[in-house]
């Protein structure tokens, strides 16, 4: 599960946003001021930081600069004021990877988070007997390469980043196919069936009733 730190002092924003993020499968920790956000990042670094500019005690720019010194590769998405061009420039200069301007659409925010996490993924993912080399777009069981189509590779790489986690069908379609997909998810079932055959006993892609699928890789 992706650990996300939400640093936002406006409860009218943070409370519904935290609920929505948890519904999407994120493990959310909240901080209502900059000092708490920085301390939390030091004590328990998240996988991604969602950081408001206008925080009390320490503003978002100060937090961003301090975090960037400690964790150069930590993805940081800043929330800036409406039409806050100067905020945007200052945030990127402080080390933020990207920004979203308030008021924002949840779908846009989620897409930005997914993009940052994809870019932050390690080049090689190893889980159980599987090894996924994202740069070379090659997958292996032990030392034997698996022959995969491009979409099968994308699907397996997506599952391998979060083994053991039940993932909703809609999220899989958004991530692996296209955020603008519509209609039936039958193509997902076809690709899962093909992957199951190729993975054999090395790993299993299990259906989770009413949700989607989960990759189990064992030890």
Confirm whether pTM is higher than 0.85. no
User: Coil, helix or strand for 141?
Assistant: strand
CB 191 within 8 A of CB 148: no
Report all structural domains of the chain as residue ranges with CATH numbers, in order of start: 3-120 (3.40.50.2300), 124-216 (1.10.10.10)
The residue to which tokens 């777009």 are assigned = 137
pLDDT grade for 35, boundaries at 50, 70 and 90: very high
Of the listed ranges 65-74, 81-90, 119-128, 184-193, the least confidently predicted one is 81-90
Q: Can you tell me the distance from the alpha carbon of 77 to that of 48, in angstroms, rounded to the nearest whole number?
A: 8
Longest dimension (CA), the chain: 55
User: Coil, helix or strand for 94?
Assistant: helix
Report long-range pairs for 21-30 (Cβ below 8 Å, ≥24 apart).
Answer: 24/110, 24/171, 25/1, 25/165, 25/167, 25/168, 25/171, 26/1, 26/2, 27/1, 27/2, 27/3, 28/4, 29/3, 29/4, 29/5, 30/5, 30/6
Taking only the tens place, the pLDDT of each residue in 42-57 is 988 898 999 999 999 9
CB 81 within 8 A of CB 87: yes
pLDDT of residue 32: 96
Q: How big is the chain by its Cα radius of gyration, in Å?
A: 19
pLDDT grade for 115, boundaries at 50, 70 and 90: confident
Q: Can you tell me the distance from the alpha carbon of 44 to that of 3, in angstroms, rounded to the nearest whole number?
A: 10
User: Coil, helix or strand for 208?
Assistant: strand
Which element (helix H / strand E) includes 119?
A: helix 106-120
């Amino acid at each position: 599960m992706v650990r996300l730190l939400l640093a936002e002092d406006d409860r009218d924003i943070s409370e519904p946003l935290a609920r929505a993020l948890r519904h999407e499968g994120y493990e959310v920790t909240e901080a209502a001021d900059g000092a708490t956000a920085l301390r939390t990042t030091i004590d328990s670094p998240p996988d991604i930081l969602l950081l408001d500019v206008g925080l009390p005690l320490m503003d978002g720019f100060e937090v961003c600069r301090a975090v960037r010194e400690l964790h150069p590769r930590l993805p940081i998405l800043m929330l800036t004021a409406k039409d806050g061009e100067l905020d945007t420039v200052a945030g990127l200069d402080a080390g933020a990877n990207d920004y979203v301007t308030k008021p924002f659409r949840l779908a846009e925010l989620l897409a930005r988070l997914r993009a940052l996490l994809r870019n932050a993924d390690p080049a090689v993912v190893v889980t159980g007997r599987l090894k996924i080399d994202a740069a070379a777009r090659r997958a292996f069981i032990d030392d034997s390469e698996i022959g995969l189509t491009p979409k099968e590779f994308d699907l397996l790489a997506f599952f391998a980043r979060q083994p053991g986690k039940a993932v909703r069908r809609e999220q899989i379609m958004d991530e692996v196919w296209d955020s603008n997909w519509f209609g039936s998810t039958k193509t997902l079932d076809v690709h899962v069936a093909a992957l199951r055959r190729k993975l054999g006993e090395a790993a299993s892609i299990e259906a989770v009733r009413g949700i989607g699928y989960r990759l189990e890789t064992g030890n």
